């Protein structure tokens, strides 16, 4: 129960912090053009090219499965990850995992990286350049702190895989009429998948 409460408090704090930045920018630059939630992509998705979207989701699952090998390596070597608190807890950790997966990570990361940063960069530089820049930043945020601890190759692998997933989530936004909702759902499910491995295997 305490782990669930801790995850919920952490989620609320992270959502508040990483939604405040887009909110301030929206107040200054975009409040006369569109409502805030639409501005950051929290709106009903209108999915286009469903076949391509399905392929993108399949690729995301494949990358996430590959990422599990790195996650397993790190966990087995005692490296603390974001979901390491669930290690060995079994199914009892599931409520906390769901909060972690969808609220503490997927929601705020999609709001900030795809809704705010990606949305701004895509308007500025076009989809491919803007989405690539946000994906690179997303990858760096996930792996750059590992360089002093884990050499070069593991952090580079983490950065590359997170970057690919970040690009795919941006693609889902693009193919959903600017909605980050599909990205939140896919991102959250991938987080659940990795956390289940930690819960049950370590």
**Domains of the chain by residue range:** 2-18+48-201
What pLDDT tens digit does each residue of the chain (202 aa) get?
788 999 999 999 999 999 999 999 999 999 999 999 999 999 999 999 999 999 999 999 999 999 888 877 777 777 777 777 887 888 888 999 999 999 999 999 999 999 999 999 999 999 999 999 999 999 999 989 888 777 888 889 999 999 999 999 999 999 999 999 999 999 999 999 988 888 877 6
Q: In sequence order, what DSSP letters do the residues of 20-64 get, joined into one string? A: HHHHHHHHHHTTTTS-HHHHTT-S------HHHHHHHHHHHHHHH
Give pTM, 2 decimals. 0.93
**CA 62 – CA 66 distance, rounded (Å):** 6
Q: Is the dihedral of CA 10, 171, 115, 143 positive or negative?
A: positive
Residues, the chain:
202
């Amino acid at each position: 129960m305490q782990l669930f409460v801790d995850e919920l408090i952490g989620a609320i704090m992270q959502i508040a912090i990483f939604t405040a930045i887009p909110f301030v920018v929206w107040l200054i630059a975009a409040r006369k053009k569109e409502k805030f939630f639409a501005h950051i992509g929290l709106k009903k998705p209108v999915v286009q090219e469903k076949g391509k979207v399905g392929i993108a989701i399949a690729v995301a699952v494949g990358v996430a499965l590959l990422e599990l090998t790195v996650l397993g390596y790190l966990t087995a070597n005692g490296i603390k990850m974001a979901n390491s608190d669930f290690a060995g807890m079994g199914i009892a950790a599931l409520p906390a995992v769901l909060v972690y997966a969808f609220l503490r990570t997927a929601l705020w990361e999609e709001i900030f990286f795809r809704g705010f940063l990606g949305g701004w960069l895509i308007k500025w530089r076009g989809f491919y350049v803007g989405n690539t820049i946000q994906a690179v930043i997303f990858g760096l945020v996930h792996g750059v702190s590992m360089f002093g601890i884990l050499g070069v190759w593991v952090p580079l692998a983490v950065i590359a895989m997170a970057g690919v997933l970040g690009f795919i989530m941006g693609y889902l936004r693009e193919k959903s009429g600017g909605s980050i909702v599909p990205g939140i759902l896919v991102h959250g499910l991938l987080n659940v998948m990795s956390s289940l491995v930690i819960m049950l295997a370590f």
